[in-house]
Structure 1
Amino acid sequence: MWSTPSLMSHPLRRPATPMPFCLKSNSKAWVPLAKAIALSRKSSVMINKSRCVEPLFCCTHPTPQLSHSDSSMPRLFISHTVPNVPPALRMAKPALIALALTAGLFGGAPSFAANAALAPVAGEQMLDRIVAVVNQSVITQRQLNAQIQLVATQNKIPVNQLSPSDIKQLQERILDRMITEKVELERAKQIGITIDDTRLDDALSGIAQRNGMSLSQLQQAVTNQGDNWTGYRESIRNQIMIDELKRREVFERVNISDREVDDYLKQYTGANTETTEYHLAQILISVPENASPSQVETAKKRADAVLSALKSGESFEQVSAERSDAPDATKGGDLGWRDLSRIPSLFIDTIKSLKTGEVSDLIRSPNGFHIIKLVGERTASTNSAVLTEYDAEHVLIQVSSQRNAAQAKAEAESLRQQIVSGKASFASIAAKYSDDKGSAAQGGQLGWVKPADMVPEFGAMLEKTPVGQISPVFQTEYGFHFLEVLKTHEVNVPTETLRTQARQAIGQRRADEDLVNYIRRLRAEAYIENRLTGTINDSSAQ
């Protein structure tokens, strides 16, 4: 078995896997389950609002730049990294979610629903309709619209400027991933995965603690914004169940021998050696298992169309969200930083030939057709017995619905200047203005951190900021920061730690491949009726 490290507690740190999160709608237009199944053969359902309950809709989070403000309450940034869930070991972006205090995420029907492509027929008011049936569960148009709005916000997709065909593609991609989540949750229940209230309370307490609140304060914040605390708890419970499913049925089944670890250390590590790391993104057009020649040809045509769109100048992130079949599609296909040990050998020569910003031609694998983008390249130390840790403090100013990027940067510059000029202390500025509420409660202090544990831009700034000086304002995916390094020290890394890291790197590479195949198998065994595409997968009929 390969082991997993404990989860890092601070939101700027890169946890080993992005934790999912759920959002709950206050919308009252919802189909009771029994009625929905009874009407499942109809293409559209007109609902009586007086007979409705509130739905939950879930997604896996990727991007933290969601910020809302309210005149009566401060902004709250809730980190949904769930304790006691062994991660998938990917050095990925951490999962932050804004606990929205105005309508938009937790408020009424999402604004995307007003798009003409989703509007009801003239003269009718379509409150909701079923867009997919997954075994005995359903997904409604309202739930789908909410996820589209979230993905569009995260990937800066100009929804109102999309053509009807582009909107259709985006809907189909996102619905497909919602179907996958339904299938995963049903499998988790089927094999007896349950999350008791004690474990759930521990997870919620961790969320509260990372945001400078007690559990009762978190509950009050959720309630104050008009959300149901019971529903919020259940959405987090469901996500822990899905993570536990992946841990049991994929990650724990990856076995790595000591010989493999020895070979890895010999090949990829060594005192004071350096290796090249590649920041990659991908688009995958999948091919079914045992695909017929016509199915392969259809997938190839899709892939060629995607490649043409990229070469014509379309955004890689937008095309990924709309058309990619990869699990990370809604994150722009971002695979993070990887050294050669964590890149499939099939892709290595192609990646080495790319320049930063370039996109590959089609790469055929057993899973389908891949398009790889080289986002960045850097040199990093693979193994050093001595590592430098930094005692640092920082201030974060996020972009929000009330503050665009230019305004956020200007505010950060102004706050930094107040500290440099001696008009205010770092601690007072952080406590009053920083949008990282977890560290703000400590005057901006992060404690001892390693650059490799932080998001790349933050880690790089730590390394080049002299002790006792305040860095320039810099940008990460979370917003605009400035930091101060209070002191540094060196720590020795035990040999066993290096072996654990090697085992994790090997395990991650295998688990990435195994997880794709596992999800594909779960879907193949389920009854799935996708009403957007008009397709039905019925394993019982095969």
Structure 2
Amino acid sequence: MVITRTSRGHHRASAGRRRVAVGSLLACLLIASAPAASQTPIQELDAIIAVVNDDVVVRSELDTEIDLILPQMQKAGTPPPPRPQLEKQVLDRLILKRLQAQRARDLGIQVEEATLNEALTNIAQRNGLSLEELQATLEAGGIRFADFREDTRSQIVTSRLQNQEVVNKIQITDQEIDRFLERESSRLIEREQVRLQHILIALPENATPAQVQAAEAKAARLVARLRGGEDFAKVAAAESDGRNALQGGDLGWFEMGAVPSLVSELAFTMAEGDISDPLSSPSGYHIIKLNEIKAATPADVVQTNARHILVRTNELVSDDDAKRRLEQLRMRIVGGEDFATLARSNSDDTGSALKGGDLGWVNPGDTVPDFEEAMNALPPNGVSEPFQSPFGWHIVQVIERRNQDKEGEFMRIKAREALQRRKAEEATEEWLRQLRDEAYVEIRLDEDAQQ
């Protein structure tokens, strides 16, 4: 049994243990009260394999998650590791998902059914299927559509949570963009994106010299095996402690400026297929493979002329109040009333309210992600439904769009996007680590295996 705990997590854990104890006692009472001659078969209780703050993860959840992951690994051509290693990897993922779900619940983050249905429809369309065909395909592959639906809901909640807690708080200054372009503009155009694979040999906090030496030696052995021709994805799935191990260590595509700091220099010099030497960081030893390279293809910059109305929340104005007020304003605008007039008298963004809510020409990356996403989804003259950003609640109208073929402006936008992604990747990793460190986590996977 593995337990991690902080003082804050201990209080939550006590509630979790009481909940488990009461559940166990109730099960015993139910069994004891059953007639001895009853022919009703006794169902095996779902084993608890982890306690996460005041919640638990049970064996059936682990099995369901593995059933979802195995087809993904098969599609990616990644052989699964032995079952015990696979269960450990998947349980670690479930614990992080549970912690994020708990945090999202505390913050009141939810996914509307309409949003979930739209996401599922988009997934089906990207695969050239209708929603009904997607369901049939999943079921034929042994995946319950209800499980896939809830997994999609969880991913949307997690994305919203990370945007709220991490991404929307990231600030990129003009000075940072200038420095970035001075250092990396020419190389950014020459090599725009790289696809990386990753293996992590993790070290515990305050690792002993013996633990460091053992991790370094293991990393060196893995590098030798990989350079000797072993499949990176297979080795990653079996040996890596990283979050992407079950995807064969695939980290996906990175803009050059968004490559994690640890390998930002190597990403410019490694050739396709190269395997790095072991790289040391506080979290352990890392092995990187540069899988693919994409050259840049500059394109026109799409600018949006938009205007908005902002309602901020405070002690007197709740989220529901702000949303309801904006819904009423939107109905008046759709009914023919002038957006600019309503913005002047109702918007809490005093800077733009004086101009009828006009934001001028907006470049990609100029606004926070929540605002940009809502704006980009609109056609010209379209008015959004109320949506929330770190500044409050908005409705936005797109007046028109234009393409700007400006190389300098294009480069600044690419630089901003790269810096945003780099900071977001590093900040999210740190945020997840803090979330785990502040939680009470008790792992009982070994006990379940012994039973």
- TM-score scaled to structure 2, two decimals? 0.56
Check conservation: 1:342, 1:509, Cα contact below 8 A.
yes
369 and 272 in structure 1: CA distance in 2 versus 1, 3 angstrom threshold: closer
Check conservation: 1:283, 1:370, Cα contact below 8 A.
yes
299 and 232 in structure 1: CA distance in 2 versus 1, 3 angstrom threshold: same
Give the distance between the partners of 1:219 and 1:348, measured in 2 at CA.
39
Percent pairwise identity = 36
210 and 277 in structure 1: CA distance in 2 versus 1, 3 angstrom threshold: closer
Instruction: Give 3-state SS (helix, strand or coil) of 1:381's partner.
Output: coil
Instruction: Give 3-state SS (helix, strand or coil) of 2:194's partner.
Output: strand
Higher share in helix = 2
Q: Does 1:282 align with 2:195?
A: no
Q: Residue by residue, what CA displacement relative to the aligned partner does 1:332-382 show, whole Å, maximum 9, x if unpaired?
A: 12233445423345434545564432322210023321101122345x236
Q: Does 1:522 align with 2:438?
A: no
Q: Does 1:153 align with 2:44?
A: no
232 and 381 in structure 1: CA distance in 2 versus 1, 3 angstrom threshold: closer
Query: Could you tell which deviates more after superposition, 205-214 or 339-348?
Result: 205-214
Residue in structure 2 matched with residue 129 of structure 1 by the alignment: 47
Give the distance between the partners of 1:328 and 1:223, measured in 2 at CA.
23
Check conservation: 2:166, 2:424, Cα contact below 8 A.
yes
TM superposition shift of 1:285? 2.1
Specify which of 177, 180, 201 is matched with residue 264 of structure 1.
180
348 and 260 in structure 1: CA distance in 2 versus 1, 3 angstrom threshold: closer
Specify which of 121, 129, 154 is matched with residue 238 of structure 1.
154
Instruction: Give 3-state SS (helix, strand or coil) of 2:191's partner.
Output: strand
Give the distance between the partners of 2:293 and 2:128, measured in 1 at CA.
36
Taking CA–CA contacts closer than 8 Å with sequence separation of 6 or more, which of the two structures ends up with the larger relative contact order?
A: 2
Check conservation: 1:172, 1:533, Cα contact below 8 A.
no
Give the distance between the partners of 1:184 and 1:316, measured in 2 at CA.
30
Residue in structure 2 matched with residue 203 of structure 1 by the alignment: 119
Give the distance between the partners of 1:183 and 1:259, measured in 2 at CA.
36
Give the distance between the partners of 1:219 and 1:275, measured in 2 at CA.
36
Give the distance between the partners of 1:271 and 1:343, measured in 2 at CA.
13
Check conservation: 1:272, 1:384, Cα contact below 8 A.
no
Q: Residue by residue, what CA displacement relative to the aligned partner does 1:80-99 show, whole Å, maximum 9, x if unpaired?
A: xxxxxxxxxxxxxxxxxxxx
Give the distance between the partners of 2:261 and 2:218, measured in 1 at CA.
24
Unaligned 5+ segments in structure 1 are 1-32, 49-123, 388-490, 536-542
Q: Does 1:381 align with 2:381?
A: no
Q: Does 1:508 align with 2:424?
A: no
Give the distance between the partners of 1:178 and 1:138, measured in 2 at CA.
11
Larger Rg: 2
Check conservation: 2:298, 2:410, Cα contact below 8 A.
no
Give the distance between the partners of 1:213 and 1:280, measured in 2 at CA.
30
531 and 515 in structure 1: CA distance in 2 versus 1, 3 angstrom threshold: same
TM superposition shift of 1:229? 7.4
Specify which of 168, 178, 182 is matched with residue 84 of structure 2.
168
Give the distance between the partners of 1:533 and 1:228, measured in 2 at CA.
28
Q: Residue by residue, what CA displacement relative to the aligned partner does 1:296-335 show, whole Å, maximum 9, x if unpaired?
A: 4454455345445535643211222233232222221223
200 and 355 in structure 1: CA distance in 2 versus 1, 3 angstrom threshold: closer
Give the distance between the partners of 2:168 and 2:105, measured in 1 at CA.
18
TM superposition shift of 1:39? 8.4
Unaligned 5+ segments in structure 2 are 1-15, 32-41, 303-402
Specify which of 324, 333, 343 is matched with residue 259 of structure 2.
343
